[in-house]
Structure 1
């Protein structure tokens, strides 16, 4: 394998750290870029970088062979719109400009399956689906705009690009999705599902995603099969959202969900919560599933075909959902996570 100098943006987050490990373990020279600078392995260069700063981005990208653009602001509430767009679109534009300035050959964009979601059922959707034509949340809107820029940019100069669309990523090190579920369970607030559990969703174990990104980066080069392409990446095991939650709860040792609330009630509560949050100025990185966008996700089919990725990237998901959840909870146990239920002391 050719050794390349690769910048990974958002490298301190859940997905970012896993990508840093994946590419460093593969033998590449990795630069981890993030707005925080907390080194976590000795063979990686760590830099503090705000991708909204065009000059800082230009300087950081000098001498690179490849960029894995993972940094984004995940915020599905309808507030803090300017902040979300500044990171998700302007940051992407700054990185693409650096590719031109420094003749960087490869660019892999970590996008989102929400790029095609319009609040209606998607069953086994593939990459021929068009972009969403309606505005639902600044996160989805800005990811669509950024992905369009990336795909249009591919091949304009020396840089070849592709986009990876994962859906609901989970695994060891998750600091958002799994902790939110377990925290609610711990507080006794996770007793009811939304709707009838008759709609299927996709989930993606973290190593299945990083395997796919590694495979895509290898193939996004002049003449490579991935140039200008988009790939859905999931476990390929559609499951009702709250059935997945129950699997996690059982693995962690919490009671499963018994009751349910109708969609209209949950959606109304989420709308009220968003409104209150907006009046307070809008909180970033503090979502708990109570947004209109998230509630809509829970009551619609949204699962995708991964056949194109299998075929063109020579990739397969190696870890199934059950094993992924087992590994996730096992890591939490090893780290003595306070999110897990306390085991009663045995009588002497």
Structure 2
């Protein structure tokens, strides 16, 4: 129906200021078939600079679009904005704080209940819910061309997936009650301009260099969906519901770009487009799992706050290492969906929209890489600097693992310092002796012998060590002489501050040093 007809239809986009919601609003305004009511939880509409040239400002001034503040936890606010509407698109929030379970539940699950109830009472004809393909992913099995016959998981690693599955079920069960027709869309890995999750997460990991690692084989395939294609799918679903197709009402449909790609190839394209290094070091999935569990265990042992994001971290590892591709034949056949933007075009637009997060190429490529950085100079530029700055990833990881084991052995093992040292030396002796009696060749692998020079100390090293000890000893007595004269206030305050901090730490209740350094 053209917009200029006497009684244009009204549609509502709940959470229309979110990532998918914004694209859906613009899609509806471009079609010009209805008045669009945009809702969000904020009191007033704040337009981004990127929206200054879009249809939204002109539509708001002309009355083609309206903005309403709506909290989906308050059903009265929902009813008020749904009055007279024929179609509702429910795109719930994705940037919620997952540490607050109650708030997430009230917004997603209780919000879905309120939306369904309000639609029935306000005689809304169509309700389209934006779900996710993650509701059928259990994290343990690959999905190859999964279709709508897949059932939702009964146990989720990720809180948001669990709540989204409950909300989807509520919407679909409400189909054909009081004249309300419903359906749900399950887009896979949505990306595009305005993304608040995937691209910002990649950039935050790329800055300290964590994106150089590939989890698993790197051969796992995934489906990604450009945000404009998701918006187009919502419009297709609403039109199909308007025709009262039995094959659409009460159903869920997978939505993708129909262009499966290797998961790590997709990330590499995004990272390289923003000037960051593409992943190239493969880590076995099991190793990453053990690292996550180790970090969580150390937090618990040290009595720190529980590692609340361990489940989310595990879920990210599962997404990054498993194949997840979906079949969109049902969406193509029943709601007439087909992508309007190709994957290549979508990636290009996404990279361009995040140019403000790109690495500063002028600094990255004009710098002389043979020149030591400030941090490297501060660390001395030796072997320690190479290890701390990840010059050799394998060596750094090996040293890190050894330090973690030593930390556990001496500080978390529950033994005294003397007994821990004795056990460690006993283990070291057994390992060295066992290594010494190994044959030179085992199943075709040559066993390298430890050179005796590794256990020898040169006279220069010994002299330097003794000179260093003597220097520290003389410096200590020099400070004592200065204190005895009573002239150097600067030294006095430094010494007092150092001893005050030491005394304060020693007398803390349940002090770490009291528990682990007392020799029984």
Name the TM-score, length of structure 2 as normaliser: 0.61
> Which of 91, 108, 120 lines up with 2:128 in the alignment?
108
Task: Indicate conservation of the 8 Å contact 2:157/2:312, yes or no.
Answer: no
Q: 2:36 aligns with which of 15, 30, 37?
A: 30
Q: Post-superposition shift, 1:222?
A: 5.8
Would the alpha carbon gap of residues 196 and 162 (structure 1) be closer, same or farther in structure 2, given more than 3 Å must change? same
Query: Out of 260, 266, 276, which is 1:238 matched to?
Result: 260
Displacement, 1:270?
4.2
Give 3-state SS (helix, strand or coil) of 1:6's partner: strand
2:180 is aligned to: 159
Answer with 67-76 or 204-213: which moved more: 67-76
Residues 174-183 or 142-151, more deviating: 174-183
- Distance in 1 (alpha carbons) for counterparts of 2:127 and 2:289: 38
Deviations 1:149-193 (A, max 9, x none): 111111112111010000111111212211211232233221111
Counterpart in the other structure of 1:279:
305
Residue 315 of structure 1 corresponds to which residue in structure 2? Answer: 337
Moved more, 194-203 or 38-47: 38-47
**Residue 68 of structure 2 aligns to a residue in which SS?**
strand
Given that 1:58 and 1:98 are in contact with CA atoms closer than 8 Å, whether structure 2 keeps it comes out as yes
How many residues are aligned here?
338
Structure 2 counterpart SS, 1:217: helix
Specify the SS of the correspondent of 1:232.
strand
Q: Distance in 1 between matches of 2:121 and 2:344?
A: 45
Query: Is 1:297 paired with 2:302?
Result: no
The residue aligned with 1:67 is: 88
Report whether the alignment pairs 1:202 with 2:202: no
| Correspondence for 1:17 | 22
Map of 2:115 onto structure 1: 95
Match of 2:362 in 1: 344
Classify 1:108/1:291 alpha carbon distance in 2 versus 1 (closer, same or farther; 3 Å).
same
The residue matched to 2:362 in structure 1 has which SS? coil
Matched, 1:229 2:251: yes
Which range moved further: 5-14 or 264-273?
Answer: 264-273
Measured at CA, do residues 161 and 270 of structure 1 come closer, stay the same or move farther in structure 2, by a change above 3 Å?
Answer: farther
Structure with more relative contact order (C-alpha pairs < 8 Å, separation 6 or more): 1
Higher mean alpha-carbon deviation, 20-29 vs 182-191, is at 182-191
> What are the superposed Cα offsets for residues 14-57 of structure 1, whole Å, 9 maximum, x if unpaired?
11111111112211211111112324323221122110112222
Judge conservation of contact 1:5–1:66 (CA < 8 Å) in 2: yes
Summarize the Cα distance change of 1:162–1:58 in structure 2 as closer, same or farther, 3 Å threshold.
same
Higher strand proportion: 1
Q: Structure 1-normalised TM-score?
A: 0.89
Larger Rg: 2
1:94-134, Cα deviation, whole Å (9 max, x unpaired): 00000111100010000011111111111100011111122
Tell me, in whole angstroms, the C-alpha distance in 1 between the residues paired with 2:330 and 2:296: 37
CA distance in 1, matches of 2:221, 2:97: 20
- Greater shift, 219-228 or 3-12, is seen at 219-228
